[in-house]
Amino acid sequence: MIHQIDTTDNIVAFRALAEVTNEDFLSVVIPAVEHLVKQTNEINFLLVLDTDNDAQSFSSGAWLQEALLGLKHLGKWNRAAIISDSEEIISFTNGFSYVVPGEFHGFKKENFNKALNWVEGNINIS
């Protein structure tokens, strides 16, 4: 399940709980991202993975939907942060910057505020 987090108007932010499905992406994530692109012409995205086993909590369909979403707006990505205590997910997120335009960073859960400030454009990460 995914819930949208209230944030500033220049980003979309979500918290994933338990298992994430295609329906979560179709009903929650995609409409919010589409709205953001219409408003700002770019994607600033934050996703907090609050699941027992982050890497295994996403069904393959949800990951596919997320990938398709990224391809649809390939040139619109600006900043994306994935927050998880899984080193695998953080490494995967950090590597995404090499294949998709925009900046992608993984953060530990303890660095939520830093991640949010970065996605909002308030700080730079070196």
Question: Would you call 82 exposed, middle or buried from its count of C-beta atoms within 10 A (0-12, 13-18, 19+)?
Answer: buried
For residue 1, the model assigns a pLDDT of 87
Domain span holding position 76: 2-120
Task: Classify residue 44: in a domain, yes or no.
Answer: yes
Task: Classify residue 96: in a domain, yes or no.
Answer: yes
The CATH code of the domain that includes 104 is 3.40.50
Round the CA-based radius of gyration of the chain to a whole number and report it: 13
* Tens-place pLDDT, residues 53-112: 655 555 555 665 566 566 677 789 899 999 998 888 888 888 877 877 889 999 999 999
What's 38-93 look like in SS3? HHHCCEEEEEEEECCCHHHHECHHHHHHHHHHHHHCHHHEEEEEEECCCHHHHHHH
* Tens-place pLDDT, residues 19-52: 777 788 888 988 999 999 999 999 999 999 887 6
Question: Would you place residue 9 in the very low, low, confident or very high pLDDT band (cuts 50, 70, 90)?
Answer: very high
Number of structural domains in the chain:
1
CA 3 to chain centroid, in Å, comes to: 12
Residue with tokens 């944030």: 7
CB 62 within 8 Å of CB 21: yes
Task: Classify residue 53: in a domain, yes or no.
Answer: yes
pTM given for the model? 0.87
